[in-house]
Structure 1
Amino acid sequence: MRSNERECIIRWEHAFEADPAEKEKYYLTVAYPYPSGAMHVGHGRTYIVPDVIARYQRMKGRQVLFPMAFHVTGTPVIGISKRIANGDEQTIGLYRDLYRVPQDILDRFINPMEIVRYFSEEYMRVMQKSGLSIDWRRRFITVDPQYSRFIEWQYGHLHEDKHVVKGAHPVKYCPQCENPVGDHDLLEGDKAEIIKFTLVVFQWGDARIPCATLRPETIYGVTNLWVNPATTYVRATIDGEKWILSAEAAGKLALQDHEVLVTEKIPGTALIDQTVAHPLCGEITVLPATFVDPDMGTGIVMSVPAHAPFDYIALRDLQQQGRYTSIQPVPLISVDGYGEIPAKDAVERAGIRDQNDPAMEALTQEIYSAEFSRGKVFEKYGGKPVREARDDVAALMLERYGSIPMYDFDNRQVICRCGGRVYVKILHDQWFLEYSDPCWKEQVKTQLEEMALVPPEVRNEFDRTVDWLKDWACTRRVGLGTKLPWDPAWIIEPLSDSTIYMAYYTIAHHLKAIPPENLTPEVFDYIFFGEGSPTTVERETLDAIRNEFLYWYPYDYRFSAKDLISNHLTFQLFHHRAIFPPELQPKGMVVFGMGLLNGAKMSSSKGNVYLLEDALEEFGADTVRMFLVGSAEPWQDFDWRNELVSSTRKQIERFWNMVGEARQAEGAYAIDAWLASRLQHRIMSTTAAFDSFQTRQALQEAFFGVEADLKWYRRRLPEGASGGAVLQDLCRTWVRLLSPFIPFTCEALWSDLGESGMVSFAPWPEVDEAQVNPEVELAEELLERTVEDIESILKLIPMEPKGISLFVAPAWKHEAFRIIAASTDKTRVVREIMQNEEMRKRGREATDATKQITKLVLKLPPDLVKQLQVASLDEQAVLEGARSFLEHEFGVPVTIQDAGESTHPKASGALPFKPAIVIE
């Protein structure tokens, strides 16, 4: 670690401990980590972006609270501990080789709490090394007894208000752990959804053959069944009836409230060419299909070739071999944009060769979506829209034709952190958070309307999540966590105990001094609601704790990843609405994009990570911070690439050197006023970007913008001059503008500039209107654009130039520019121009100039066009004043003329703010 980094960490040890004060507060939180492995650069971005915002708000004069804790409840560390205890080489290798856990400590990981202790300390150390300005007094882990009392209090209220109910629901379940699991408990399949299928039951002799479908309304168009001849199926007694299905399906049904007894095996070949029947489609034949997956549904598929592209193409493939030619598609749904047989129409239009064509998946989704959204079943089948017929037919099958529901995942394998396969199980006597409650949903929707969401487009995703969210199994039988207060045989699961801990942060440091047995529900009622008269804690202490809570709450912004919208971020809104009054509801959320490593998604379990500590050691904390914040806006995905990070380190070195060179500058130069004015714009733009959470844009303005201004400033200085005293003011401002991004570097420079205290608490720069000089800035922009145009032309000329002539546009073209710029309809602007008497006299010359000026207006930045509309810039005087600069730049004589007074054939090309250029 670099010496200045060590010094800063020591100086910052208690610097960011935030207590209530007589100033505006700013409370931001970020999802607390699960410390089961080392931090990687993706974690770094998650915590560094909020830190940059916290540091900015602190410099803006607000009292900032940025707390941190560690989430350890649930089963993940238990699963890790078991795998290590069982000698799992992959897990041991991950912790020994990737995370570099010392062997003596790794040996202790057979105790899950040893994993928690080790990595929570590691997280804190690496976070400090990253420069996070956290109030560490408030640190806790989610198995602390004080925190458990807080969770018990929360669930007591949820239960009392009937938001927690007992019932039977399908949940993700790990038979190996004998526990329901949530997304955070999974190694694979964290996005898998539980889908409800209808089992359509066909009769074959005395046995039933079930097919799982999401489209029961298509039963009228079933022409055959598909069976995989390479699969061995089973005969099983399901709830006392004889069924034939895959062994995998039998196992799944056994978890879903069905008595299942497998009696014998039956080869798939024994079913081929057999005749089965259903009352709604009659007798049909069983055909062979190797594409049928025994692990999907029941391993037997009903075929609707008129409306399912896969079925159509598979049947066509067989018929091209001369087999089953008598089977024809049976259409039953009409849909605009397709012929009588939609699947055939779509397949032939797409030029599909066979069932292995990669375009088949998309084509299937296209047909299914079209038929569901605008399809209608034929009159003889009821004539209803497909979206209505689907539910009606499903209900009919369940009532009359022996169908039952079956639950499974949406084409994804789901793996628990213990390594076991996860299935869908119907749980009984389980406790659920009743997120399906329409009244509760409406409360959350109302809250969302009042919140600031960044970026705004995530609002739709939140709304969708609230709409489809179903009851959530909130308890487990095993794992770390808080016991359900009224039913202690259950433990509250991880996503359910991490919903309002933002409120706990505000008082966590106080509660550490109170014995957990004294933290009764009445104590929390007083702290959060001001109700009751608890006796287990002194009133004076309670009042101090309550006042601190009220000072900080509600939180201002929560930062978290976009993949948590579907669970945690929405859950916490439900719980806030259930527990706290309207004035204490969350104010805003910032949703992050995902992290990539060399273009691929980061994954600790797959080893595709770059450890944050390795990055800090190789590049330095400020380089890591600057890259993670500057490579993308918070809501955009970012891609860590070492070669790009190396270039970021060079940028910080340039900054260090430029401040070192500039801090002793003295004297005064004509260009100083321009630099001082530009600096005010950089302050304004950086501040505006920060206020919109555009941290990348803020860095662009604060670093690259100021650097570009300095480069032009030095170029415009007289030969041999190093700069004026304006550079000293710029350095003090520049260091403060970059302090949120690269605080280690800026603390050292702040001291070198002779300033006292820490730059982390220095006031944020404010715009000095007296130094804003639009005329000077406009003049320099004209000059800079002219220089760029000359340079572009010189690159195209093979000979050495002997002289440069610049022709500035006459006054009438400036008047035309103002008319064009003010026009709301640029397609009719020629007519507007020719209404001007002077323009009319000029005839074709004015018409041609209008077209050229219109193109220029559309090309220039809108803000610049607005300035030029009202400015009275004497372009000839500006360029005459810079003649010596231009001649020094290009090493040839330069002349400046009014194009209106010149007979040179190229003078007529002069436009406002774009002189005509002639190279001799």
Structure 2
Amino acid sequence: MDYNFEEIESRWQEYWRENNFYKATEDSESPKYYALEMFPYPSGKLHMGHVRNYSIGDVIARYKRMRGYNVLHPMGWDAFGLPAENAAIKNGIHPSVWTWNNIDNMRSQLKRLGISYDWDREVATCHPGYYKWTEWMFLQLYKRGLAYKKKSFVNWCPSCKTVLANEQVVNGECERCGTVVRKKELEQWFFKITDYAERLLEGLDRLPGWPEKVKTMQKNWIGRSEGVEITFKLESGDEVPIFTTRPDTIFGVTYIVLAPEHPLVSKLIRGTEYEKPVSDYIYELQSMNEITRTSTETEKTGMFIGSYAVNPLNDERIPVWIANYVLMEYGTGAVMGVPAHDERDFEFARKYGLPIRVVIQPKDDILSPATMERAYVDEGVMVNSPGFNGIPSAEMMEKIKQYIEDKGYGKRKVNYKLRDWLISRQRYWGAPIPIIYCEQCGTVPVPEEDLPVLLPEDVTFTGKGESPLAECESFVNTICPICGKPAKRETDTMDTFMCSSWYFERYTDPRNDERPFDYDKVKYWMPVDQYVGGVEHAILHLMYSRFFTKFLYDIGLVPVDEPFTNLLTQGMVLKDGAKMSKSKGNIVSPEDIIAKYGADTTRLFVLFAAPPERDLEWSDQGVEGCYRFINRVFRQVSELKDLYVKNKWRFDNLDEEDKKLRYKTHSTIRKITQDMDGRFSFNTAVSAIMELSNSLNDYLSLKHNNRNMNVVSELIYNMLVMLAPFAPHVSEELWHQIGYEGSIHQVSWPSWDEEALKQDEIELVIQINGKVRGKLNIPADADDETVKQLAISNERVGAYISGKPIKNVIVVPKKLINIVV
């Protein structure tokens, strides 16, 4: 029979749909398993990264069903976002139409891959039935003081007169018109994720199923540090709090630096000779983003602003500067300059001729500021620190903290690099922020019964000026729910990370119109047992999802405070050593590959070509190889289907070749089961199935006239069942060819027979100086000494070692023997 993948795959996909095989319902009789891949942005076309991600998740879901779990495996769409608005501006198509068309297209592509999703649970974050509850979540945070508004800087294009997202700024210029982008201060909404910093950090220690690199990335992003916050008083009467982890160096402070955006800067320079040059310098910095400003490769620049502060520990008068490397968003927006003991401060002080004072001397040297070539950052003995001289700096830490607190100069403090989450977006295509502004009543939350605040359809997209929402009078103008007088709606929409921070909980109850989800349903399914997605989401998405789940736990909506028990971050798909992209011209279309080879071949290749957590190098030859393998299995089973023994197999009177084949069957079951349980070594599992198919070929060739069809049938049964999660369509087809009813995906995963794994003889590979020179059958219970003697006395081996002294004989039990001559 010919392997007609188009006919086979479409027929079985329809069969699965008609029989609702993947519909998930709560079942107290079975253990649950929640398998989830990160849902995609509906760009319109799947790429190979998608195919790999969803194939990995599908193998896990199918395998767990066969292991007896009640599996939830849903899919949806992270559907809000800037590309839809860009399409509206460029092509004159409404973001809603563009998005839903893309969703329809990508849904059909996923179905073509045969992914086992429960499509009845599909969600799209741009649907009012979903974003109603996104708005509701905002209100819960607002009621508890975790949502607030403050001024913050945004990217501003003076030509387009619009706010730009970071991805719209290319080399410091607007991607639309090429104008240099500036920073502009706007009132924006934030979530107080910093209130959860310690819990987010502590929770990582309770996630053994997460990759260590991801946990390290999150720990670094949270950035917990212990130190003191000390107040420097300015001669103007103002006070500047500064956090430091090195209080032992405070006597060495010779200047302080404010962020150019610090609110004190404009006050301190007003009406002075420094006003214009400082303002010009700040204006120039507005074209630099935060990453560039703080990069170690960016030259550090700064400017004295004409003011002085007093070091509270020694009453020394020190200058106040601004510099590009200090950001208002980090710490207090001010740092102390200790050039003798900080590399960045040292370079800055040398560049601008600022004083350098050594306050920690190494035990075996004497540092001189005039001759120092770099900062000294190690431990030593305190000097130039009245009251503390001669004390080892390691002992100084606690003493100086206590001294600062006793004197009232500051206090001990735990600081975090983590900043509050800015959720405002000056865009149309996002969930509206449910806030109303009334001249009489102030800031008023939209009543919950009035949700959702719907996005209006009658908007115009020009790419110029404010958000289309701000120019839509029918949306902006409303009535205050408290006093009934005319009021204005908030025209910012929410960051799309907000939509993706709770979607996994909505999947548990996606059609609930009364609440975001039912507690009992979320209790049954949560947490997600296995989450699969790219490592590029290791920080923001995963951090925000953990924050949201902890908040929902605190208000009694969910029973868990961590959303994802296990995390698998799959590698990228590369071609010619680089990530696939249009600009590199190295994209491989999944649609083209599926059309040429079928969905099963496409899936099998991305699962076989590399371990899931590693990058995968695309190989046309590799795809061809997987296609040939599927064809071989198809031929093997099709040619033997009329001889297949469907009833209970008998294993008496087996000869040695029969026993070897049974051993291969059951050793493969054991290996693949171990590969799948926890490690998800899909590539080695597929390789083992390929080896099993090869063993069947060898057996059939060797025993052409006296095949034991009980042994052969056992192998075919188990090979198809183990292949089913990886290549679901051809497995289903062959399952029915050999006479079974129902679906192969509803049978139990096989278990190995320990009796079949007992061998009278085993085959060892023989190597001479590491090169394979033959094979040797030996008794299975032979000890190492017996194995050595049998190998050395082997006639074939004798030809290679004759007349050569044997230096060593290495036995790898049950695998090989290497004779070193």
TM category (shorter chain) comes to: 0.5 to 0.7
The amino acid across from 2:568 in the alignment is: V
- Alpha-carbon distance, 1:53 to partner: 0.9
Kindly tell me: are residues 380 and 154 of structure 1, through their superposed partners in 2, closer, same or farther at Cα, counting changes over 3 Å?
same
1:643-694 Cα deviation digits (max 9, x unpaired): 5444433443444344445656789642212221332232223223322151
CA distance in 2, matches of 1:915, 1:61: 38
SS state at 2:445 partner: coil
CA distance in 2, matches of 1:131, 1:343: 70
Alignment check: 8 A CA contact 2:349 2:356 kept: no
The amino acid across from 1:164 in the alignment is: L
Alignment check: 8 A CA contact 2:527 2:560 kept: yes
CA distance in 2, matches of 1:645, 1:561: 23
CA distance in 2, matches of 1:54, 1:805: 42
The amino acid across from 2:515 in the alignment is: F
Q: State yes or no: 1:574 paired with 2:550.
A: yes
| Corresponding residue number in structure 1 for 2:70 | 63
CA distance in 1, matches of 2:82, 2:233: 43
Alignment partner for residue 331 of structure 1, among 321, 342, 358?
Answer: 358
SS state at 2:123 partner: coil
The amino acid across from 1:27 in the alignment is: Y
Alignment check: 8 A CA contact 1:306 1:342 kept: no
1:72-129 Cα deviation digits (max 9, x unpaired): 23x42354236xx2x5xxxxxxxxxxxxxxxxxxx343x2112211221122111112
| Corresponding residue number in structure 2 for 1:689 | 675
Of the structure 1 ranges 679-688 and 381-390, higher mean CA displacement relative to structure 2 is found in 381-390
- Name stretches of at least 5 consecutive residues in structure 2 with no aligned partner: 173-216, 258-264, 290-299, 329-333, 436-443, 447-488, 645-652
Q: State yes or no: 1:678 paired with 2:711.
A: no
Alignment check: 8 A CA contact 1:602 1:609 kept: yes
CA distance in 1, matches of 2:593, 2:369: 53
CA distance in 1, matches of 2:716, 2:368: 69
Alignment check: 8 A CA contact 1:499 1:575 kept: no
| Corresponding residue number in structure 2 for 1:524 | 515
CA distance in 2, matches of 1:619, 1:171: 52
Q: State yes or no: 1:140 paired with 2:147.
A: no
SS state at 1:671 partner: helix
SS state at 1:760 partner: helix
Alignment partner for residue 245 of structure 1, among 275, 278, 283?
Answer: 278
The amino acid across from 1:331 in the alignment is: V
Alignment partner for residue 80 of structure 1, among 71, 86, 94?
Answer: 86
- Alpha-carbon distance, 1:44 to partner: 1.8
Q: TM-score, normalised by structure 2?
A: 0.62
| Corresponding residue number in structure 2 for 1:504 | 506
1:554-589 Cα deviation digits (max 9, x unpaired): 543333334434324423432442344675665723
Q: State yes or no: 1:481 paired with 2:439.
A: no
SS state at 2:77 partner: coil
Alignment partner for residue 571 of structure 2, among 594, 606, 612?
Answer: 594
CA distance in 2, matches of 1:638, 1:188: 30
Alignment check: 8 A CA contact 1:171 1:180 kept: no
Kindly tell me: are residues 741 and 329 of structure 1, through their superposed partners in 2, closer, same or farther at Cα, counting changes over 3 Å?
same
CA distance in 2, matches of 1:604, 1:551: 43
The amino acid across from 1:240 in the alignment is: R
How do 1:869-884 and structure 2 match up within 5 A? none
| Corresponding residue number in structure 2 for 1:18 | 24
SS state at 2:501 partner: coil
CA distance in 2, matches of 1:269, 1:62: 60
Kindly tell me: are residues 580 and 673 of structure 1, through their superposed partners in 2, closer, same or farther at Cα, counting changes over 3 Å?
farther
The amino acid across from 2:270 in the alignment is: G
The amino acid across from 2:278 in the alignment is: L
- The sequence identity of aligned pairs, in percent, is 22
1:597-656 Cα deviation digits (max 9, x unpaired): 233345678877544334434553223222322334444444444454444334434443
Alignment partner for residue 607 of structure 2, among 629, 643, 657?
Answer: 629
| Corresponding residue number in structure 2 for 1:731 | 716
- Alpha-carbon distance, 1:222 to partner: 7.3
Alignment partner for residue 471 of structure 1, among 396, 405, 420?
Answer: 420
- Alpha-carbon distance, 1:34 to partner: 1.6
CA RMSD of aligned residues (A): 6.2
Answer with 1 or 2: which has the greater Rg.
1
Q: How many residues align?
A: 658
Q: Which one has the bigger helix percentage?
A: 1
How do 1:247-646 and structure 2 match up within 5 A? 247=280, 249-250=282-283, 306-309=340-343, 330-334=357-361, 340-341=366-367, 379-380=385-386, 469-476=418-425, 478-479=427-428, 480-484=430-434, 487-488=445-446, 489-490=489-490, 491-508=493-510, 510-511=511-512, 519=513, 523-524=514-515, 528-529=518-519, 552-566=525-539, 567-580=543-556, 583=559, 586=563, 588-598=565-575, 599-601=577-579, 609-646=587-624
Alignment check: 8 A CA contact 1:906 1:916 kept: no
Alignment partner for residue 9 of structure 1, among 13, 35, 54?
Answer: 13
- Alpha-carbon distance, 1:793 to partner: 6.9
Q: TM-score, normalised by structure 1?
A: 0.56
- Alpha-carbon distance, 1:132 to partner: 0.8
Alignment check: 8 A CA contact 1:67 1:134 kept: yes
- Name stretches of at least 5 consecutive residues in structure 1 with no aligned partner: 88-106, 227-234, 257-267, 349-363, 401-435, 439-463, 512-518, 530-545, 797-803, 818-848, 857-874, 895-903
CA distance in 2, matches of 1:343, 1:604: 54
Of the structure 1 ranges 177-186 and 583-592, higher mean CA displacement relative to structure 2 is found in 177-186
How do 1:822-861 and structure 2 match up within 5 A? none
SS state at 2:17 partner: coil
The amino acid across from 1:578 in the alignment is: D
Kindly tell me: are residues 638 and 556 of structure 1, through their superposed partners in 2, closer, same or farther at Cα, counting changes over 3 Å?
same
The amino acid across from 1:561 in the alignment is: G
CA distance in 1, matches of 2:695, 2:382: 65
CA distance in 2, matches of 1:194, 1:249: 28
- Alpha-carbon distance, 1:757 to partner: 2.8
CA distance in 2, matches of 1:610, 1:133: 24
1:382-406 Cα deviation digits (max 9, x unpaired): 677697899999999x999xxxxxx
Kindly tell me: are residues 614 and 719 of structure 1, through their superposed partners in 2, closer, same or farther at Cα, counting changes over 3 Å?
closer
CA distance in 1, matches of 2:752, 2:302: 84
1:236-270 Cα deviation digits (max 9, x unpaired): 776736444374634779999xxxxxxxxxxx999
SS state at 2:505 partner: helix
- Alpha-carbon distance, 1:296 to partner: 7.4
The amino acid across from 1:528 in the alignment is: D
- Alpha-carbon distance, 1:54 to partner: 0.9
| Corresponding residue number in structure 2 for 1:173 | 154
CA distance in 2, matches of 1:689, 1:805: 28
1:683-707 Cα deviation digits (max 9, x unpaired): 2232233221514266246424524
